[in-house]
Amino acid sequence: MRGKRIVIGISGGIAAFKVASVVSQLSQRGADVRVIMTTSATQFITPLTLQTLSRNHVFIDTFDEKDPSVVSHIDLADHADLFVIAPATANVIGKVAHGIGDDMLTTTLLATTAPIVMCPAMNVHMYQNPLVQANMERLRKLKVQFIEPAEGQLACGYVGKGRLAEPEEIVEWIERFFTSNNHVKTLIGKKVLVTAGPTIEPLDPVRYFSNYSSGKMGFALAEAAALAGAEVTLISGPVSLPTPPQVRRIDIVQAEEMKEEVLQALPQMDVIIKSAAVADYRPQKIYHQKMKKVQEELTVILEKTPDIATEVGKRKLAHQLLVGFAAETQDVETYALGKLKKKGMDLIVANNVAEPGAGFGIDTNIVTVYDQEGVVKAFPKMSKKELAVELITLIGDRLHGK
C-alpha cells in the first residue's frame, strides 16, 4: 500500500463517520490519501477530522482552489491510482451514472481515468428501488466496481441490506485491488463456475441433514479466480460469508436447487470447480409438521441426492475443465482417484479432513491435486486464501495446456 494514491469521496449519509477509520487505516499503511467531501457529508463528519487523519487538505468546493499552480479537480483526478466512494448514496450513484458533475466530487469523478469503486449505503428500500439498481447496473457496465452493503440494523430503524461495508472490509478490498494489479491474469476472458458450502436437506420444519462445510475454500477460490481475470459465478449453500468482489453469487439451500443452477450455467462456462460439500443423502419423506419426541427410537429412510459432479462430467464439452474436491478421512488417494475417473473430472483436490489444519470450518487446508495419471502437486498446510491462488494458477496453466 505504500505510496499508492487513493482518492476517497465521501457523500452525505450517516455512514460517513465510518469512513474516518478507512482513511486512518490506509494512511497508516503508507497510502497517499486525498479526501473529497460533498457539502452534505460535512453535516455528518468534519473536514478537520479527515484532514488530520489523511494529513492532506480536504476538498469540498470546486471553486475553492488551494493551489494556484493546478486546477484542483483535474489534479485530483490525475492523482488517483484508485477512486473510492464511501458511502455512495443513491444520489451520488444516480448522478455519476448519468454523467452529472455539479459538485467537487462528481466533477472530479468525470475527469478521472482511475478505477472507481463504490460502497453503497442507504435505506433498504432505496437500495432495492429499481431505479437505483438500474443505475448501479449501468455503472457496472462502465467498469465501476462495487463493495456490496451489509445486512442488518440501519440508522433509519429498518433491518435489511443497506449498511455500509465495515471499514476493515473496505480496506481489505483495496489491498486486494492493488495485489490484483500484480496478479497473473491467467483466466482473462474465461468464465468460471464455483460451487461452495453445504447443502441442507430438510426432515421437518425444524430439523435437517447437512455437514460442517463453512464454504471458506469455495469462496476463496471464487475470489482468486476473479483476481485472475475470470468472470465468476458462485453457487453457494447456506454460509455466513460475504460475497467476494466482482463475483456473481447465487444462493441455494438443497442439492436439487444446486443441480438446477449448475446445469443451467454449465454451457457458458470454461471452468467448473465443484468445491461444495453436497449432502449425499436426503430424507425420503419430509414431514410438514414438527415430529414429536414420542418414541425411544426413530428410523429415517434416506435416499440419494442428485450427483451433480457426475451430471457435469457427462455433459461437459471438450474445452471445459472440471475440477472436483474430495474430503476423506482415510485412503485419500484411492478414493480421490476413483471419484475423479468415475465422474469424468480433469482434476481433483483431495484432503484428509481428520488431519489437523485440513478440516471443515477452519482457515487453513492441506491438499493434494490429482489428474488421470496420478499426483499433480501436493500443497503443505497454508491458508485457504493462499491455497486458492495456487490452485487457480494451476487450473489456469492446465486450461492453457501448460
CB atoms within 10 A of CB 16: 24
Query: Does 280 carry a binding-site annotation?
Result: yes
What is the rounded distance in angstroms from the CA atom of residue 402 to the CA atom of residue 390?
A: 15
Residue 325 is labelled as binding a ligand:
yes
Q: Is 123 helix (H, G, I), strand (E, B) or coil?
A: coil
* Residue 370: strand, helix, or coil: strand
**At residue 134, what is the residue type?**
A
Name the phi and psi angles at 143, rounded to 5: 75, 15
Vertex 47: Cα angle to 45 and 50 (nearest 5): 85
Q: How many CA atoms lie within 13 A of 328 on its CB side?
A: 19
Whether residue 119 lies in the annotated active site: no
User: Does the annotation flag 17 for ligand binding?
Assistant: no
Residue with cell 474465461: 190
Judge whether 204 is annotated as a binding position: no
Distance CA 352, CA 369 (A): 12
Residue 176 CA to residue 321 CA, distance in Å, equals 26
102 is in an annotated binding site: no
H/E element, 92: helix 90-97
Answer for the pair 145, 116: CB distance below 8 angstroms, yes or no. Answer: yes
Grid coordinates representing 109 are 469523478
Cα 291 to chain centroid, rounded: 38
Q: Which of 156, 206, 375, 378 is catalytic?
A: 156
Binding residues for CTP: 280, 290, 325, 339, 343
Residues serving a catalytic function are: 156
